[in-house]
Chain A
């Protein structure tokens, strides 16, 4: 870009719209927070003293990023198609997930089953406990004060905002992850999926349906009435 135009361009860098029509967004130049500085200091010290390496830290981040709701969906689909596995899942969901080959470490997992008259909802009012070792990182809203406080106080209003309308005859069971257990909802198998394979079923299981703030996506059209 010709230098002669520099000042002119500069005037417009932080105002108005980009050439593609989007507003410019400020760079994130705020100073580090106390806890960000603490994390960097501890990480650099651990590496400097040979306790861990930068490659190990990156590998652990990779491992966590490789976990996703697809893991939980596979567990749910297995439970929908294999009654013996479902019984093992409801008895000890951690062991049942390990049996499928998922590397969930020491996770203590409890599966709670939705039935025609019971709907389960998971929250952690104290912080952000979530079955990360199976499902990966929680959604941002799960960690908000609004969700954490309202899910235990007015779960029906919260569910309604997520688009889940339940009849008054359905009992809601809220589970507050206050200590060492983590929870996964076993949603009800959608109608119209009788002919689907385990792998096909897993595609209908959403993250929110395993938190209880959603239902599995239901096949429409081609499968209705099958």
Chain B
């Protein structure tokens, strides 16, 4: 996780999984992406944490990434076309690294 919080270390095509957390309050990691694995499409720089900004609190800067998922990863065999993609912006503290040698989650 420490690697994720340092800009420039996470590189393109590195695999990440969106954390499967369901905290209360304002978050901007959509529920339909939690627990899903994708690849970093690009790093976007650091932005104020919306989980603090939403309540008028001083916000820490958090690295933000665009993560690309396949529709097969999101919707299984109900995807219209498995290799269409979805890109979303996810903050580093919502991402965990997936080792390169780990298999992709089994698919239907």
* Size bin of chain A's contact surface: 20 to 34
Residues of B near A174 (CB, < 8 A) are: 84-87
Residues of B near A181 (CB, < 8 A) are: 44, 66, 89
Q: Judging by beta carbons under 8 Å apart, are B90 and A178 in contact?
A: yes
Q: Judging by beta carbons under 8 Å apart, are A179 and B81 in contact?
A: no
Separation of A171 and B70 alpha carbons in the complex (Å): 11
B: number of interface residues (CB 8 Å): 22
| A118 → B minimal CB distance (Å) | 10
Choose one: A108, A168, A173, A178; the contact of B30 (CB below 8 Å).
Answer: A178
Q: Judging by beta carbons under 8 Å apart, are B88 and A155 in contact?
A: no
Tell me if A126 counts as interface (CB < 8 A to partner B): yes
Q: Judging by beta carbons under 8 Å apart, are B80 and A173 in contact?
A: no
Tell me if A209 counts as interface (CB < 8 A to partner B): no
A174 to chain B: closest residue by CB? B86
Q: Judging by beta carbons under 8 Å apart, are A179 and B86 in contact?
A: no
Q: Judging by beta carbons under 8 Å apart, are B89 and A173 in contact?
A: no
Tell me if A132 counts as interface (CB < 8 A to partner B): no
Residues of B near A178 (CB, < 8 A) are: 28-30, 88-90
A125 to chain B: closest residue by CB? B30
Q: Judging by beta carbons under 8 Å apart, are B84 and A176 in contact?
A: no
A110 to chain B: closest residue by CB? B66
B27 to chain A: closest residue by CB? A126
Tell me if A157 counts as interface (CB < 8 A to partner B): yes
Separation of A126 and B27 alpha carbons in the complex (Å): 10
Residues of A near B30 (CB, < 8 A) are: 125-126, 176, 178
Residues of A within 8 A of B (CB): 108, 125-126, 152-157, 168, 171-181
